[in-house]
Amino acid sequence: MGVFHAVSSFHNAGFDLTGSSLVPFAQDPLLILTHAALIITGGLGYAVLLEIGARVRSPNHPWTLHARFVLMITAILLVVGTLGTLAIEWGNPHTLGQLAWPSKILDAFFQSVTARTAGFTSLDTGLMHPASQFLTIMLMFIGASPGSTGGGIKTTTFAILLWGVFTVIRQHPDITSHGRRITWDFFSRAVAIVFLAASVVLVMTAAVLLTNHAGFLEALFETTSAFGTVGLSMGLTPHLTTTGRVLIVVTMFLGRVGPLTAAVALLRQARPPASIRYPEAQIPIG
């Protein structure tokens, strides 16, 4: 039992042998925090783990911008997810409402952790407030980090997108962070990956709605969970039609292979510029 669940947590699989995930252990801090530590470690990515190891051995070892982005965005998402779940679910009698305040903080934190593609849950996701379910959807869409055991668009993609948007708003010529410059080419690739991921989720959500008796939030939750290879569900999975299950399988495949394949394609060396360049066109936007 211990080995199975440790492997499942570290690899963000979410498979359990209890039949009810970690709901029976919602007030067990040792079990919940151990799972949370394994999930977070697996979701950081092996490159970041090696860098943390190098930093432990040599405190003066410099952080790469990749590691800074991963650790910073991971911490921000964990805090936002925990506080958001606490604020929304504090009085919900079906989730945190009947727990003592230490257990409320513990399970709100774990919900924020597991939404990052782990799939375990200590709360009944189907009984959560719609606002909490939507918050979980956003966390699942972002997912884990590059080179990790998790899915989603990845924390670094989200970070580059944020930094690029802030740079446009401030009207700065370059995207900069921690004394480094990020080229606009990376921002363009981040936008492309987010657009492709959102398109897959929305198209599959529409397809699930057409082939199953489900509400919009249920279908969106199910497809986002599949795309991010999370495994959380509001209870729709057992009631899906055969077509619906095929759609979810395809979404999981695209979520795990699609973003990675798209990233590899987008990161290929660009062809040399052509000798002919077309005149610029000014198109109003916004």
What DSSP letter does each residue of 16-60 carry, written as one string? -SSSSTTGGGTT-HHHHHHHHHHHHHHHH-HHHHHHHHHHHH-TT
Q: For the chain, how are helix, strand and coil distributed in percent, rounded to 5?
A: 65, 0, 35
> Would 280 be classed as within a structural domain?
no
3-state secondary structure of 278: coil
Environment class of 239 (CB within 10 Å of its CB; exposed 0-12, middle 13-18, buried 19+): exposed
Q: Which amino acid is at 81?
A: G
- For residue 19, the model assigns a pLDDT of 82
Indicate if the alpha-carbon torsion angle 160, 166, 169, 174 is positive or negative. Answer: negative
As a whole number of angstroms, the distance between CA 31 and CA 274 comes to: 59
> Would 277 be classed as within a structural domain?
no
Give the predicted TM-score (pTM) of the model. 0.90
> Would 271 be classed as within a structural domain?
no
CA 106 to chain centre: 20
- Please state the length of the chain: 286
As a whole number of angstroms, the distance between CA 244 and CA 234 comes to: 15
List the pLDDT tens digit at each of the 286 positions of the chain: 899 999 999 998 888 888 888 888 888 999 999 999 999 999 999 999 999 999 989 888 889 999 999 999 999 999 999 999 999 999 999 999 888 999 999 999 999 999 988 889 888 899 999 999 999 999 999 999 988 888 899 999 999 999 999 999 998 999 998 889 999 988 998 998 899 899 999 999 999 999 999 999 999 999 999 999 898 999 898 999 999 999 999 999 888 876 666 666 666 655 666 678 888 877 777 7
The DSSP line for 229-264 is T----SS-GGG--HHHHHHHHHHHHHHHHHHHHHHH
> Would 172 be classed as within a structural domain?
yes
> Would 233 be classed as within a structural domain?
yes
- For residue 257, the model assigns a pLDDT of 78
CA distances from residue 92 to 27, 46, 103 in whole angstroms, order as listed: 16, 38, 14
Q: What's the CA dihedral at 46, 255, 200, 195 to 10 degrees?
A: 10
Domain count, the chain: 1
What domain range includes position 188? 2-266
> Would 284 be classed as within a structural domain?
no
Q: Are 42 and 9 in contact (CB under 8 A)?
A: yes
As a whole number of angstroms, the distance between CA 166 and CA 153 comes to: 19
> Would 29 be classed as within a structural domain?
yes
Residue found under tokens 């919009």: 216
The DSSP line for 179-211 is TEEE-HHHHHHHHHHHHHHHHHHHHHHHHHHHH
> Would 181 be classed as within a structural domain?
yes
- For residue 127, the model assigns a pLDDT of 92
